A and B are shown apart, each in its own frame.
Chain A
Amino acid sequence: MYESLVEITGLEIFAAFVSAAMPVAFLVPFVIIAVYLERKVSAHMQDRLGPMRVGYHGLLQTIADFFKLIQKEDIVAEGIDKKFFNFAPFLVFAGSYAVYAALPFSSKYIGSETDLGIFYIIAISGLVVAGILMAGWTSNNKYSLYGAMRSAAQIISYEIPTALVILSIIMWTGTMSLATMSEMQTAYFWNWNILGGPEWGITKFVLIPFLLVAFIILYVSTLAEVNRTPFDMPEAESELVAGYHTEYSGMKFAMFFLAEYGNMFAVSAIVSVIFFGGYQSPFGYLGNTLGIEWLVPFEQVFWFAAKGIFFVFVQMWLRWTLPRVRVDQLMTICWKYLIPYSFVNLLVIGIITLL
């Protein structure tokens, strides 16, 4: 995208700006829909209707809420380190938005075509921890502090199994670029990584159980990384009120909210790229069959979004079904189960790849 824009316009700044702004065009509508979806999904799971008043079946509810949040007074309590307090929500959002740079929305659009896509994502999402810690610490509130400390411990711990699983996939596919990874799982759904990848042979079937385990580990740990139930320790509302964003109001709170939903989609997209073919359609493209070539990238965006939203839906599903684990149990799950299993998995996938 960036390169082709440079070629067309000859303006590097313009090209950089446009390709950086593209995900916003996706993210903001996504968040609006996802918040609506969350309320509707939870409502229907709980035998109620959810928002029904604003627009048809409450479709405009999120937009109304958004305007409400903008109008809210920006409360800054006494004894707060204002500089960092104001900066933290933007840092959190920046961390979650930066991930979108390396997500391949289609074969034609990727914010930045770096070869280190997945490592870049793991590294840059660390910014979120810094932002959360900053928010919790500067809020001068004990609940915020607890939330932030828990969050930092949780995200850092769960990055290990995430990285190990991703490492095993990188070892096997031989690429760190998410675009290449999606490219490899082309054509039909039996070529997806979860089903042993595009190469036919005995290894494909031997690998499937281990890839399944890898998928489960990755999904659980990404769930923990974005602080969703059952791992929503940092904002465990029955204990810590609202965790690290207890003291925030108005637009700054909306930033945290935006970052949370942005993160939800980002991790779902990563899971879908690594295991479920990313933007690839599960059964061929309409554009190819009809001979309309420009249709293909749009179809790819559709499949990419659909897969991502499916995993977001699963996250919501889990949230409204499961209770919350305790903070020490959370660490136990990570250090005693996920990390050893992912190490074994790494070893096995490594050996199979070598053979």
Chain B
Amino acid sequence: MALKTEELVLNMGPQHPSTHGVLRLEVQLEGELVTKVTPHLGYLHRCFEKHAEAMTYPQVIPYTDRMDYLASMYNNFGYVIGVEKMLGIQVPERVEYIRIIMGELQRIASHMVALGTYGLDIGAFTPFLYLFRDREKILTLFEITCGARLLYNYMWVGGLSHDLHPDFERLTREFISYFRPNIDELNNLLTYNKIFVERTANIGVLPKETAINYGITGPNLRASGLKYDLRRNDPYSIYDRFDFEIPVGEGLVGTVGDCWDRFYVRVLEMEQSLKIVEQALNQLPEGDINEALPKRVKPPKGSIYQRVENPKGELGYFIISDGTVNPFRVKVRAPSFVNLAILNELSKGHLVADIIAILGSLDIVLGEIDR
């Protein structure tokens, strides 16, 4: 008599320690081998896009904060330069530089969370707290600038909410010289750890072609070996003035595009961001930040698609204006949403423990996926 066997369906989340928010994964298992992963979304849906239609243009900015709440500055950034382009505003030099500094500090902070929680997923507790300790310093910088630590509403259409604090420049330079050696510490503690490498190398390999076909962007795409970064390939703001490199995955310990590469690309990007912040601080001009603030934000009829390189990938705002003070439509292309789509492809044939490793390496934020 043949025994009746069936696949085990394991329900991961929405209450699970490592789904990085309220994500539910329906995992089909053959023993410990994964045959299919279906992500179920929507637990954090707050109707951002619909809300935006009832708001005036500046009122939408606080909502963008709440999408990728680990990179609020950058969400502001993308939205305001989109609206500025519609209005045809040229912001002062100083504003441009401050935006770059904030954006890159935010990128570092976002990558810190990504790397730290990834260590946590693999079981290493300590690097997580080291990185959070350092992230705290960035949040302090934001706090003295605009008073908020998570949701800043800092970048406004045509300017900024506050000018820099007198101490900001000194504190930022201190942070840069403090944080550089800590990256090496992180590498020694976690990145090159034998167990960590065993867990992540050759796991969830994402070939370049598949990544392009799925529309993967950001560090996940670069880890697959494609040098594609909007700061270079479609420069916005004043990114063309800075000297920085775009790290790509090289498969140092495994195959190009594995989990370890995705992790390491983020480590390298933090160094590059430090470099950009340093250059921007050196070139920071004086000036009035409120010069270009419009009295009334009322773009002419038309539409625009503005994309920026958010820490998670390509963040795009498609804004349609019908000539009133409210946007007719604000559609967001959220990088995490697109990047999550690859999960099933990557997880097939791996073990349960690897789903966690793969999901963590994609660095998703549910606030952005569900919006």
Chain A residues positioned under 8 Å from B189 (CB to CB): 321
Which residues 6-37 in B have Cβ within 8 Å of A in the complex? 8, 10-11, 16-18, 32
B123 touches A323 (CB 8 A): yes
B-contact bits for A323-341, CB 8 A (1 contact / 0 none): 1111111000000000000
Pick out which of these stretches binds chain A: B73-81, B173-181, B190-198: B190-198
In the assembled complex, the Cα of A229 lies from the Cα of B125 at a distance in Å of: 11
A230 touches B356 (CB 8 A): no
User: Is A237 at the interface (CB under 8 A from chain B)?
Assistant: yes
In the assembled complex, the Cα of A329 lies from the Cα of B195 at a distance in Å of: 9
A46 touches B193 (CB 8 A): no
User: Is A320 at the interface (CB under 8 A from chain B)?
Assistant: yes
Which residues 162-192 in A have Cβ within 8 Å of B in the complex? none
User: Is A48 at the interface (CB under 8 A from chain B)?
Assistant: yes
Beyond A46-B125, A47-B133, is A323–B119 a contact (Cβ under 8 Å)? Answer: yes
In the complex, which residue of chain A has the Cβ closest to the Cβ of B129? Answer: A46
B356 to chain A, nearest CB (A): 5
In the assembled complex, the Cα of A230 lies from the Cα of B124 at a distance in Å of: 9
Beyond A47-B133, A142-B8, is A323–B122 a contact (Cβ under 8 Å)? Answer: yes
CB-contact partner of A241 in B17, B133, B195, under 8 A: B17
Residue of B18, B126, B351 ringed by the most chain A CB atoms within 10 A? B126
User: Is B253 at the interface (CB under 8 A from chain A)?
Assistant: no
B119 to chain A, nearest CB (A): 7
In the complex, which residue of chain B has the Cβ closest to the Cβ of A237? Answer: B17
CB-contact partner of B353 in A45, A48, A239, A321, under 8 A: A239
CB-contact partner of B123 in A42, A142, A324, A328, under 8 A: A324
Chain A residues positioned under 8 Å from B292 (CB to CB): none
Chain B residues positioned under 8 Å from A325 (CB to CB): 195, 198-199
Chain A residues positioned under 8 Å from B354 (CB to CB): 326
Chain A residues positioned under 8 Å from B125 (CB to CB): 42, 46, 319-320
User: Is A236 at the interface (CB under 8 A from chain B)?
Assistant: yes
In the assembled complex, the Cα of A146 lies from the Cα of B34 at a distance in Å of: 14
CB-contact partner of A230 in B18, B195, B351, under 8 A: B195
A141 to chain B, nearest CB (A): 10
Beyond A238-B17, A241-B16, A329-B198, is A230–B123 a contact (Cβ under 8 Å)? Answer: yes
The dominant DSSP class at the B interface is helix
Which residues 287-316 in B have Cβ within 8 Å of A in the complex? none
Which residues 270-327 in A have Cβ within 8 Å of B in the complex? 319-327
In the assembled complex, the Cα of A320 lies from the Cα of B129 at a distance in Å of: 11
Chain B residues positioned under 8 Å from A319 (CB to CB): 125
User: Is A247 at the interface (CB under 8 A from chain B)?
Assistant: no
Which residues 42-71 in A have Cβ within 8 Å of B in the complex? 42, 45-48
Which residues 210-253 in A have Cβ within 8 Å of B in the complex? 229-230, 232, 236-239, 241
Beyond A47-B130, A326-B354, is A238–B8 a contact (Cβ under 8 Å)? Answer: no
Give the total of A residues in contact with B, Cβ under 8 Å: 27
User: Is B338 at the interface (CB under 8 A from chain A)?
Assistant: no
CB-contact partner of B130 in A46, A142, A241, A324, under 8 A: A46
Chain B residues positioned under 8 Å from A45 (CB to CB): 126
A-contact bits for B100-128, CB 8 A (1 contact / 0 none): 00000000000000000001111111100
A327 touches B353 (CB 8 A): yes
CB-contact partner of A238 in B11, B121, B190, B351, under 8 A: B121
User: Is B352 at the interface (CB under 8 A from chain A)?
Assistant: yes
In the assembled complex, the Cα of A321 lies from the Cα of B351 at a distance in Å of: 24
Residue of B11, B119, B125, B196 ringed by the most chain A CB atoms within 10 A? B125
In the assembled complex, the Cα of A230 lies from the Cα of B119 at a distance in Å of: 13
B126 touches A229 (CB 8 A): no
Beyond A142-B10, A238-B121, A239-B18, is A324–B126 a contact (Cβ under 8 Å)? Answer: no
Chain A residues positioned under 8 Å from B8 (CB to CB): 142
Which residues 136-169 in A have Cβ within 8 Å of B in the complex? 142-143, 146
In the complex, which residue of chain A has the Cβ closest to the Cβ of B125? Answer: A320
A239 touches B133 (CB 8 A): no
Residue of B32, B195, B198, B353 ringed by the most chain A CB atoms within 10 A? B353
A-contact bits for B323-360, CB 8 A (1 contact / 0 none): 00000000000000000000000000001111010000
Mark A residues whose CB is within 8 Å of B: 42, 45-48, 142-143, 146, 229-230, 232, 236-239, 241, 319-329
28 contacts between A and B (CB under 8 A): A45-B126, A47-B133, A48-B129, A48-B133, A230-B195, A232-B123, A237-B17, A238-B17, A238-B123, A238-B356, A241-B16, A241-B17, A320-B125, A322-B193, A323-B119, A323-B199, A324-B122, A324-B124, A324-B195, A325-B195, A326-B198, A326-B351, A326-B353, A327-B351, A327-B353, A328-B351, A329-B198, A329-B199
10 closest Cβ pairs, A-B complex: A324-B123, A46-B129, A323-B124, A238-B18, A323-B122, A323-B123, A238-B121, A326-B353, A323-B196, A323-B195
Mark B residues whose CB is within 8 Å of A: 8, 10-11, 16-18, 32, 119-126, 129-130, 133, 189-190, 193, 195-196, 198-199, 351-354, 356
